[in-house]
Chains A and B, each alone.
Chain A
């Protein structure tokens, strides 16, 4: 069965960096686009970034452009999110999710349970 497991969250000071990972199993990882979605405490879901099945196309929400980088290693079935210049409003739970298709369909059919990132001094 499809499984997605995020890791790498933790507490970081403002201006710091963190790298999140998502281990995928149970499906052909290299055939699907993948997303990161976050949820600030007490708030709703906010889409963060997407990467195409082969890594050639990436999109980001405006608030993280230039600070976050999404990447993937299809040989290791792993999705990553490099987060630099972190701000307190980046605090939240980060979910990785599989796109329904290889292109950007906008339908996220499987999600992980998330990893918590706290940006605080």
Chain B
């Protein structure tokens, strides 16, 4: 049981938009920055979004992040087959004093 809650899967057609939600509490998302990661099996996870809505260098603006209260959302527009991956939200939990992740959301581009 993950501290942060994500939907197990989402899907959309190429070129469409999808959003992935991440729900937490005041000890984690509510009072700390949220990050989003993309992970393909056998590869290193990649940071997509940090500080709720900032993109590291090299991450296209098709990826966006937002936060409201104790929830966060990752948005991906102009879906490509190469976007098929597992996506995780993560943040610091001030009560646990640990990093916490969501359970992951598998994105399928139909």
Contact = CB atoms under 8 A, between A and B. Distances in A.
Interface stretch (A71-79, A80-88, A106-114): A106-114
Contacts of B37: 45, 108
A44 B101 contact: yes
**Interface SS of B by simple majority:** strand
A107 B42 CA distance: 21
Contacts of B46: 111
A28 interface: no
A105 B44 CA distance: 20
A32 interface: no
A7 B19 CA distance: 36
Interface string B68-110: 0000000000000000001010111000011111111000000
Interface of A: 4, 35, 37, 44-47, 50, 59-61, 95, 97, 100, 104-114
A44 B35 contact: no
B63 to A, nearest CB: 15
Given A106-B91, A107-B35, A107-B51, A44 B102 contact: yes
A108 B98 contact: no
Given A44-B103, A44-B104, A45-B104, A106 B88 contact: no
A105 B92 contact: yes
A45 B101 CA distance: 7
Contact of A44 (B2, B44, B97): B2
B39 to A, nearest CB: 7
A95 B45 contact: yes
5 contacts: A100-B50, A106-B91, A107-B33, A107-B50, A108-B90
B56 interface: yes
B18 interface: no
